[in-house]
Structure 1
Amino acid sequence: MPNPRSILNSFRSRHPRLEDGAGLSHQEFQRWQNGGGQFHKSACIDPTALIETGAIVHPKSVVGAYVHIGSGTVIGPSVTIGQLTKIGYNVALSNCSIGDSCVIHNGVCIGQDGFGFLVDEKGDIVKRPQLLDARVGNHVEIGANTCIDRGSWRDTVIGDHSKIDNLVQVGHNVVVGKSCMLCGQVGIAGSVTIGDYVTFGGRVAVRDHVSIVSKVRLAATSCVTKDIKEPGDYGGFPAVPIHEWRRQVASQSWASKKN
């Protein structure tokens, strides 16, 4: 197996300072006429886009028609944003594409490295290369301070019409289907696959490499530890069909009262 450290160093040598925009001359950035933000001369921006003062668009990024970018937001190199999308204040986008008619609320981070490490033969903790992208579909809404990591072995994907609440963590390589709803403080570990029309209540947790079929609903604070292969309602830790979970809760309540 190739050494992850050598892979990452090789990538960096081929793409020096590409991701963070370092080393660029300030003279290559100009003031956008609609809103007063800054943009790199190599960026492709529709004339109808609004870039507020304090926002910056980095090289080779694409900003579609009627996009609104709030103050303090950083659009990293080669990021693509579809038309009619609204991006709030202090958002950080890198290594990603955003679809049409999306709403990205304040403080969202999309496309940063996932949490991927391994222990090498010397016992040192080595970072796994995180080299792929995050792709957000059309008509997606993402709540404040949510983080969506870029992929390592496949792109991280958020499907069309999905809605994500505040303070949600979506790990690297996660695929979320269309029309899903993720409520506040949901945490999804890496390489999870989620079907369409799935709903997660608040603080649901999903362990890594788990698959969940379409049309599943998970009760708040549930924890998914293995694949869910049948549509329906689930709850508990570990998550089980909802009627089974309710029996467990009733049994525990009855036992505590008896004691």
Structure 2
Amino acid sequence: MTRSITIADLARQLGAPFGGNGDLCVMRACEPRDAGAGDLALAMDPRFADSLKEGGARAAVLWADADWQSLGLEAAILVGRGRLAMAGITAAFDAGIGLEDGIHPSAVIHPTAHIGAGATIGPLVVIGAHAKLGARAMIAPQVSIGSGVQIGDDALIHAGAKIAARAHIGDRVIIQAGAVIGSDGFSFVTVERSHVEQARETLGASVDAQGQAWQRIASIGGVVIGDDVEIGANVTIDQGTIRPTRIGHGSKLDNQVHIGHNVIVGAHCLLCGQVGVAGSTVIGDYVVMAGQAGAADNITIGSGAIIGAGSGVLSNVPKGRSMMGYPAVAMQTHIDMYKALRRLPRALAKLSRKDS
């Protein structure tokens, strides 16, 4: 479904000034060189000014002090922070996921489930006993919602997501396709102390390699996800063993992130693609973990910490510390170590020449 909006209305939504014809309607947002007469060109940096000449846009979003008339435009919205403006622009043109209103006749809903006012439920959705769906929640096709699950108001669950029993999910949560919320934790134990436990206690100095069978520890703690959380495609979040695994308000998890059992993720964290967090680790508020970073079990990462891409966090991280490398160390220390490592061949060559 195509959406249109006037320049004046969009500027009002962005809280930004505009110049020119405020009644001009635009149908979609485009890069400058791809924009046609009915499109809104996005050129929020002077570097993109020349690209406007390659397209046919009549209106654009420009940087704050742009001379829009000299660029041949009929209207322009002027913004101070381009990336922030993108949030409002994309929201204005987002047509949603195209679900028809109401409950599709192929959905299977347990009689004891409660469906909030205005909720939309797509084809082949399954909702278990005593589940509770908030007002205006949108559930896409083939979503599975287990017994006792609670989902808040205005939640959006994309196709094929699986939400296991006892999960509690807050308001305005977005869960992308294929995510699995509340899978069992990876918890096993041996009758006697295992060789893994021995290695951990002795740092590998004394290990009896005699094998033992692993016995399963069931996961009964559930998952609690706060308000305004976004869960990416194919994310997996294990439920806790006894207490719940928790994701704090406003946190955003990218595609293929894995959260182990009993983990606590604080508020407004960013966990980027393929981040893995092992069981019982605690992550503070406003933490950023870049792509493919990993955290060992039973450690604490302090609020405001930044973990660089591909880093392996094996011990506690203080509040506000930037870390990088494997094992992760302070970012500047890692850079110094890397520089020293690159100098090693030259240093060794010099030593060889002196010895000869």
TM-score of the aligned structures, taking structure 2 as reference length: 0.62
| Cα deviation 1:14-45 (Å, max 9, x = unaligned) | xxxxxxxxxxxxxxxxxx95233221100011
CA distance in 1 between counterparts of 2:319 and 2:157 reads 36
**Looking at CA atoms only, which structure, 1 or 2, has the larger radius of gyration?**
2
SS of 2:130's equivalent in the other structure is coil
Is 1:252 aligned to 2:321, yes or no?
no
Q: How does 1:195-206 map to 2 (within 5 A)?
A: 195-206=284-295
Corresponding pairs, count = 228
Q: How does 1:4-83 map to 2 (within 5 A)?
A: 34-36=103-105, 37-83=107-153
Task: Please report how far the alpha carbon of residue 256 of structure 1 lies from its aligned counterpart in structure 2 after TM superposition.
Answer: 3.4
Which of the numbers 188, 195, 209 marks the counterpart of 1:117?
Answer: 188
Where does residue 7 of structure 1 map in the other structure? Answer: none
SS of 1:246's equivalent in the other structure is helix
| Cα deviation 1:101-158 (Å, max 9, x = unaligned) | 0110000000111000011259321001211110000000000000000001321000
Q: How does 1:209-228 map to 2 (within 5 A)?
A: 209-228=298-317
Where does residue 11 of structure 1 map in the other structure? Answer: none
- Report if aligned partners of 2:275, 2:289 keep a CA contact under 8 Å in 1: yes
CA distance in 1 between counterparts of 2:315 and 2:263 reads 15
CA distance in 1 between counterparts of 2:346 and 2:145 reads 57
Which of the numbers 250, 253, 258 marks the counterpart of 1:161?
Answer: 250
CA distance in 1 between counterparts of 2:236 and 2:176 reads 11
RCO (CA 8 Å, sep 6+): is it higher in 1 or 2? 1
Q: Which letter maps to 1:47?
A: A
Identity %, equivalent residues: 34
Which of the numbers 313, 318, 321 marks the counterpart of 1:232?
Answer: 321
- Report if aligned partners of 2:222, 2:244 keep a CA contact under 8 Å in 1: yes
RMSD across aligned positions (CA): 1.4
| Cα deviation 1:53-105 (Å, max 9, x = unaligned) | 11111110000001001111100000000000000011100131110001100
Gaps of 5+ in 1: 1-31
> Larger helix proportion, structure 1 or 2?
2
CA distance in 1 between counterparts of 2:108 and 2:345 reads 63
Q: Which letter maps to 1:45?
A: I
Q: Which letter maps to 1:70?
A: A
CA distance in 2 between counterparts of 1:140 and 1:130 reads 23
CA distance in 2 between counterparts of 1:55 and 1:161 reads 26
Which of the numbers 276, 299, 302 marks the counterpart of 1:187?
Answer: 276
TM-score of the aligned structures, taking structure 1 as reference length: 0.85
CA distance in 2 between counterparts of 1:125 and 1:106 reads 33
CA distance in 1 between counterparts of 2:114 and 2:345 reads 65
CA distance in 1 between counterparts of 2:150 and 2:135 reads 12
- Report if aligned partners of 1:38, 1:53 keep a CA contact under 8 Å in 2: no
Is 1:243 aligned to 2:327, yes or no?
no
Where does residue 228 of structure 2 map in the other structure? Answer: 139
Q: Which letter maps to 1:74?
A: S
Task: Please report how far the alpha carbon of residue 257 of structure 1 lies from its aligned counterpart in structure 2 after TM superposition.
Answer: 4.6
- Report if aligned partners of 2:102, 2:119 keep a CA contact under 8 Å in 1: no
